[in-house]
Chain A
Amino acid sequence: MKKEYRSAKFAGFEEQFRKYAAEPEDLDPVRMKMMKLSLDVFSRYPKDFKPLMNGRIRRPEIQAYEHYPIKERKEQRPDFPVREQRPDEVIEIFARRMHDIGIKRSVIFPNTLLVLGNYPDFELEVAVSNAYIDYMLDNFLGKYPELLTALYAPANSPDRAAELIERVGKEKGVIGVMVTPSRPGPFAGDESWNPIYEAAERKGLPICFHSEANVLPPFDRFKNFLPIHALSFPFHLIMQLTSIVTEGVPERFPNLDFVFIEGGVTWIPWIMSRLDSEYVMRKSEAPLLRKLPSEYIRKFFFTQQPLERAINAGHLEAVFRSFNAESQLLYASDYPHWDFDAPNVIFDLPFLSKESKKAILGENARRLFKIK
């Protein structure tokens, strides 16, 4: 196993990557220093960042927050395990937790990789993304049917991302291509992303943009986590979606599906309306489009988490109707994160039919990801 994951060895400087790394003690000290520096730059959370709000959030599974301050975790869990758990232990805990909230099968996304797209060393992203999927294939995928994942595409290096998609895109348990929306370089509508889309199209895999609480400018100017979290998730998605639509990716890749994850849903009609208005006036700047931006967006898929509170009666129903939620919305839990949604956020919505709830809570995902 050591040899297999050697390609990711220089990722091992940081606790969150340790499980994918082979020999952290072998790390090149210069490279390690650079990595630490970049980590400091790109992890600029507010000074008194308290993700668990001084113990207000208190759940046994909270230990999964590997990136949370160790002191805060230890306060919650004095018995916090210090050793790595074996795959069978991980899957046992995982299945039990999922069962607790009524979920039989999950598509997981590698949370600890969400910041990777912002590291200045693109080779790191390539190495870790390969190591991650190899680790999952060797230990979980295909062995435990309750667990599926999307491969992480190192989108800063589109050709290398395409190679990875070609290499593992048809492996059992790999159901999509995950891309983090916050990253340097051109947005996802740019033609430089074509190799990723071509490879995903060949393998029949949807492109899944998984957003994050990013503290890069301008979000680093907020005083605390509430506004950072409220805005950064949907805004990163909005920027990538806008680029994809206005630069005509759905026309260039008509068979490719897109999923936008962890931004809630209330922004969707806003961007539909906003882009339609601009398009009507400035059609000449989006010559590839053959219909209104909102018509392309209605073909995209979205996840609801964290589902926003309705500001008045009928609000959420109108939002759901705007993007055909019955067929385009996928339930996502984000469990066990602090803002996770239990399935009842969908199940309790009074305006959805039983069939719509069933579709959103599982059937839409089964269809999109071709899960048997």
Chain B
Amino acid sequence: MTLMKYPVAKKSEFSELKPVFLQVGGMKVAVYKFKERFYAYSSWCPHQGGPACEGIVVGNAEAELGIDRVVREYTSTDNFSIACPWHGVEFDLQTGVCRADPRMRIASYRVETEGDDVFIVK
């Protein structure tokens, strides 16, 4: 099977955590830059078919348990998720796996770079 390269944008055109959208084989795909790496996902939410990647990218709401067993809730500045705008279902930005139910995930695509150019390979 021959792989196709779909040009996305120049690296310099990306902003951190802001999606760049393109069509890949009839599917709307979003490409994100995060900490010098690129991630590409289908913008179709497996929960109810919403436009998953049209939602915000948000720092994960996390919690840690202190030695006194008191919970401290905080918003992560290291880990982010894509929140589907229809119902708020969250998918990990680096894996596409649903944070609440790992049986669900948004489809991911291979991203390659050549010089300043970013491609999706499919």
A58→B56 contact, CB < 8 A: yes
Cross-chain contact A344 with B49 (CB below 8 angstroms): yes
B55 contacts A58, CB within 8 Å?
yes
> In residues 228-261 of chain A, which contact B (Cβ within 8 Å)?
none
Asked whether any CB of chain B lies closer than 8 Å to the CB of A57, the reply is yes
Report the bound CA distance from A47 to B45 in whole Å: 31
Per-residue CB contact flags for chain B residues 37-62 toward chain A (1 = under 8 Å, else 0) read 00000000000110000111010000
A262 is an interface residue with CB less than 8 A from chain B = no
Is the contact region of chain B dominated by helix, strand, or loop, or is it mixed? loop
Question: Is A282 at the interface (CB under 8 A from chain B)?
Answer: no
Query: Which residues of B have CB within 8 Å of A340?
Result: 86-87
Q: By the criterion CB–CB under 8 Å, are A55 and B56 in contact?
A: yes
* Chain B neighbourhood of A58, CB < 8 A: 54-56, 83, 85
Identity of the chain A residue whose Cβ is nearest the Cβ of B81 in the assembled complex: A56
* Given A57-B87, A342-B48, 18 further pairs, Cβ under 8 A: A53-B88, A54-B58, A55-B58, A56-B55, A56-B56, A56-B58, A56-B83, A56-B85, A56-B90, A58-B83, A59-B86, A309-B101, A339-B87, A340-B86, A341-B48, A342-B49, A342-B86, A345-B48
23 contacts between A and B (CB under 8 A): A52-B88, A53-B88, A55-B58, A55-B83, A56-B55, A56-B56, A56-B85, A56-B88, A56-B90, A57-B55, A57-B83, A57-B85, A57-B87, A57-B88, A59-B85, A338-B87, A339-B87, A340-B86, A340-B87, A341-B48, A342-B49, A344-B48, A344-B49
- The answer to whether B88 and A338 have CB atoms under 8 Å apart is yes
Interface residues of chain B, those whose CB is within 8 Å of chain A, are 48-49, 54-56, 58, 83, 85-88, 90, 101
Residues of B within 8 A of A345 (CB): 48
User: What residue in chain B is nearest A60 (Cβ atoms)?
Assistant: B85
Which residues of the other chain, B, contact A53 by a CB distance below 8 angstroms? 83, 88
Chain B nearest CB, measured from A333 CB (Å): 11
A59 to B51, CA, bound (A): 10
| Residues in B neighbouring A59, C-beta threshold 8 A | 85-86
Contacts of B87 in A (CB 8 A): 57, 338-340
The smallest C-beta distance from B60 to any residue of chain A, in angstroms, reads 11
Q: Pick from B54, B86, B87, B90 the residue with the most CB of A within 10 Å.
A: B87
Q: Which residues of A contact B48 (CB under 8 A)?
A: 341-342, 344-345
State which residues 39-70 of A face B: CB under 8 Å.
52-59
Residues of B within 8 A of A342 (CB): 48-49, 86
Q: B86 contacts A57, CB within 8 Å?
A: yes
CA distance A272 to B74 in the complex (A): 42
The complex places the Cα of A42 from the Cα of B72 at a distance, in Å, of 30
Least CB separation from A52: chain B residue = B88
A332-359 interface code vs B (CB 8 A; 1 in, 0 out): 0000001111101100000000000000
Q: B90: which A residues are within 8 A, CB to CB?
A: 56
Q: Which residue of A lies closest to B56 (CB)?
A: A55
Q: How many angstroms between the C-alpha atoms of A344 and B90 in the bound complex?
A: 20
Q: Which residues on A sit within 8 Å (CB–CB) of B55?
A: 56-58
Which chain B residue lies CB-closest to A54? Answer: B58
Determine the residue in chain A with the shortest Cβ distance to B47. A309
A351→B29 CA distance, assembly (Å): 31
Interchain CA distance A57-B84 in the complex, whole Å = 7
B55 to chain A: closest residue by CB: A58
Which 10 residue pairs spanning A and B have beta carbons closest together? A56-B83, A56-B88, A58-B85, A57-B88, A53-B88, A55-B56, A342-B48, A59-B85, A58-B55, A344-B49
- Name the A residues within 8 Å of B54 (CB-CB): 58
Determine the distance from Cα of A344 to Cα of B48 in the docked complex, in whole angstroms. 7
Complex CA gap A30/B86 in Å reads 42
Within 8 A of B (CB), among A310-349: 338-342, 344-345
Q: Which of A53, A55, A57 has the most CB of B within 10 A?
A: A57
- CA distance in complex: A344, B86 (Å): 14
Give the distance to chain A from B41, nearest Cβ to Cβ, in Å. 16
Chain B residues within 8 Å of A52, by CB = 88
Kindly list chain A residues whose C-beta atoms are within 8 Å of the C-beta of B86. Answer: 57, 59, 340, 342
Nearest chain B CB to A337's CB is how many angstroms away? Answer: 10
Taking the closest CB of chain B, its distance from the CB of A271, in whole angstroms, is: 27
Q: Tell me, in angstroms, the Cα distance from A344 to B45 when the chains sit together.
A: 12
